[in-house]
Amino acid sequence: MKPRTALGTAFAFVVLVLLQYTLRPLLGWPLGPDFLLMAVVVASVRVRPGTAAVIGLLVGLVADSIGTDPFGASALAFTVVGFAASWVQGSVFADDLTVDFLLFFAGEWVYSAIFLFAARTSSAAPILAPLLVWAPVRALVTALFGVATLAILRPVLRPASAS
Amino acid sequence: MPPASRTLGRRDFVLLGLCLAAGIAALGLPDTTRDAIAGALRRSVLAPLLSLQHQAELTREAMRDRSAAVLVADSLRIRALAVPALESENARLRRMLGLGQRLRWGFAPAEVLLGKGVTEEYTVTLSVGSAAGVRKLSPVVAAEGLVGIVKSVDPTISTAILWAHPDFRASAMASDGSVYGIVAAHPGADPERFLLEMRGVPMRSAIPKGTLIVTSGLGGTFPRGIPVGVVLTELRTNELWARTYLLRPAVSPTDLSSVMVLMPDRGKEGVEPVWKDVGHDTAVRASAAPAAPGAGAPAAPAPDSAAAAQHLADSLAADSVRRARRRHRRDSLTAVADSALARGDTALADSVRKLLLPRKRPPAADSARPVTP
């Protein structure tokens, strides 16, 4: 990765993490956008899958430390999402807003699925409704916000050779 | 996002495995260890993020509180808009109470059910009828003076024409009885339409501005002494043998919500002291001011107007205190009588009960029956 690209990615990553703890509480939506997932995906598609997994683990530990959910659930989920996003982006798809939308949508849904299973404390806990109803809605919101954020941050994220 | 040409290598799988192992291990940690790690992270590297989150939540709370405060302020503003109307209605009802106490008997309090513009502009429906003693041609009055006359009567409701009605006529005179005439509605355009005319005043008699005009009692329809209006100016007419004066009416058409219908017997006994005793100039001038803006200069307030208003307020307050004292005395005596009866002291109980018997008083102020000697 070129230094300028790395700097742009780091800047976008920090902005998205800050948005998670500023804009999201300000919105107060129950199914608000997940800026941490956006940060993981944005960083993951620019690094190798192994590094993406490490980034996902660290972001997940941050989320687990601040939230009230079971410690480690987010770490596990973000690890898988980061690794998969990096591998999928590098192997299959080209650079496109539609692809980004699908990455955010699928990433959030996969994250919710892993998180729900990992954070499940008992077999009686409901899992189908959150996974099939609420998770897609949240994934859609995240994907929309993610595409909008990428459109805003595109000058920063675009490699120097492309601009 | 730019595509990155990459293939999965052993290093990637190793890192993935380590990360997954770390995540699963974190899930399996004991609660105390989890809390210790999370707490250490929160207190160190995550402290700025937590502070940001806290500030954002406070901002959101402040925005929500502001919306609630705006709603409360709007509600208060809406309520405040109604306060002048409530104060006006309160003052009007107080004046009506005062009028009822002065009339003592022979009247029926009524609500104006339909105001102007609903059926006819100058006709109103009253909430009392023949069952309450109302008769056709009964005078309708307010605390300020003459309102109109009953036109038709049903058992429970009646219809009255206001002084502004084209058919309204009343024999009137100057308050000192020096000049007589006929009062009718002034047939001008708005706002002069809501003024009165006093016609047929002899040429030799001039009435100065500000003179109070009251009903004369001639003809028997209206008892003598009900304020009708105040002289504004003399009108120029083609009549060479009589003068016509423009009057500002005593009762504003905007104040018609509670009125009183005088019974025939009460009219025969006379009501002249009713309006004279309370300084009717005050009431007339206070109510006449908004009746017809621009139609002429309002009459100068009488020097004793403030004193009369104060006297009226004081008398109302004194009445309230007297009623409260009577109620307290009655309750105390009832308690003493009950206590004596419980002890078996019937003599004491009987004597106390005699004190509780009502004295022979004039009928209540809102009674429509005449006093029986």
Of B8, B22, B56, the CB nearest to A87: B8
With pLDDT > 70 as the criterion, what percentage of chain A qualifies?
Answer: 90
Rounded to the nearest angstrom, the gap between the alpha carbon of residue A68 and the centroid of all alpha carbons in its chain is 19
How near does any CA of chain B get to the CA of A93, in Å? 7
* Nearest-by-CA chain B residue for A150: B1
Residue A51 lies in a domain: yes
Residues found in chain B: 373
Confidence (pLDDT) at A98? 85
Determine whether the interchain pair A21/B50 forms a contact, defined as Cβ–Cβ distance below 8 Å: yes
Chain B residue whose CA is closest to A121: B27
Q: Say how far apart CA A15 and CA A35 lie, in whole Å.
A: 9
Contact B53 A21 (CB under 8 A): yes
Which residues, 6 or more positions from B110, have their beta carbon under 8 angstroms from its beta carbon? B126, B127, B128, B134, B140, B158, B258, B259, B260, B261
Whether ipTM exceeds 0.90: no
Domain-embedded: residue A162: no
Whole-number pLDDT of residue B293:
37
Phi, psi (deg, nearest 5) at residue B266: -70, -35
Q: Measured between CA atoms, how close is B30 to chain A, in angstroms?
A: 10
The CB density around residue B137, as the number of other CB atoms within 10 Å, is: 13
Contact A56 B19 (CB under 8 A): yes
d(CA B1, CA A16): 15
Q: Which of B5, B29, B56 is opposite residue A22, by nearest beta carbon?
A: B56
Q: Which structural domain range is residue A134 located in?
A: 3-157
pLDDT tens for chain B, 373 residues: list them: 544 455 778 888 999 999 999 988 988 888 888 888 888 888 888 898 889 888 998 999 898 899 899 999 999 988 888 888 888 888 878 877 878 877 788 888 888 876 545 556 788 889 888 888 888 999 999 888 899 999 999 998 898 988 888 889 999 999 888 899 999 988 877 667 788 999 999 888 888 999 999 999 888 889 988 999 999 988 888 877 889 999 999 888 776 778 889 888 887 777 777 787 544 444 444 444 444 333 333 333 344 445 555 555 555 555 655 666 666 666 667 777 777 777 677 777 777 666 666 554 444 444 334 433 3
Nearest chain A residue (CA) to B21: A76
> What CATH number has the domain spanning B105-299?
2.40.10.350
3-state class of B18 per DSSP?
A: helix
Within 10 A of A15 (CB to CB), how many other CB atoms are there?
18
Beta strand pairing call for B196-202 and B180-185: antiparallel
B70 vs chain A: nearest CA distance in angstroms? Answer: 20
Q: How many helices (H) and strands (E) does chain B have?
A: 8, 12
With pLDDT > 90 as the criterion, what percentage of chain A qualifies?
A: 47
Q: Which of B8, B53, B60 sits opposite A49 (nearest CB)?
A: B8
Of the candidates A21, A48, A157, which has its C-beta nearest B1's C-beta?
A157
pLDDT at B318: 59
Domain count for chain A: 1
Give residue B83's identity as a one-letter amino acid code. V
State pLDDT tens for residues A38-89: 999 999 988 899 999 999 999 999 888 887 778 889 999 999 999 999 988 8
Taking residues A87-93, what's their average pLDDT? 77
Q: CB-CB: which of B5, B41, B52 is closest to A21?
A: B52
Q: pLDDT category, A146, cuts 50, 70, 90?
A: very high
Distance CA B166, CA A126 (A): 81
Residue B139: what are its φ and ψ, rounded to 5°?
-70, 140
This prediction has a pTM of 0.49
Cα–Cα–Cα angle for A62, A68, A70, rounded to 5 degrees:
80
Per-residue pLDDT at A1 exceeds 80: no
What residues of chain B lie within 8 A of the CB of A25, using their CB? 53, 56-57, 60
| CA torsion angle A126 A127 A128 A131 (round to 10) | 140
**pLDDT score, position B310:** 56
Size of interface A-B (CB pairs under 8 A): 140
Minimal CA separation from A162 to chain B, in Å? 10
Q: What confidence score (pLDDT) does residue B328 get? A: 63
Per-domain boundaries in chain B: 17-103, 105-299
C-beta separation of B117 from B305 below 8 A: no
Position A150 in a domain: yes
Closest-CA distance of chain B to residue A91, Å: 7
A39 part of a folded domain:
yes
Q: Do A22 and B7 touch (CB under 8 A)?
A: no
**Residue A163 forms part of a structural domain:** no
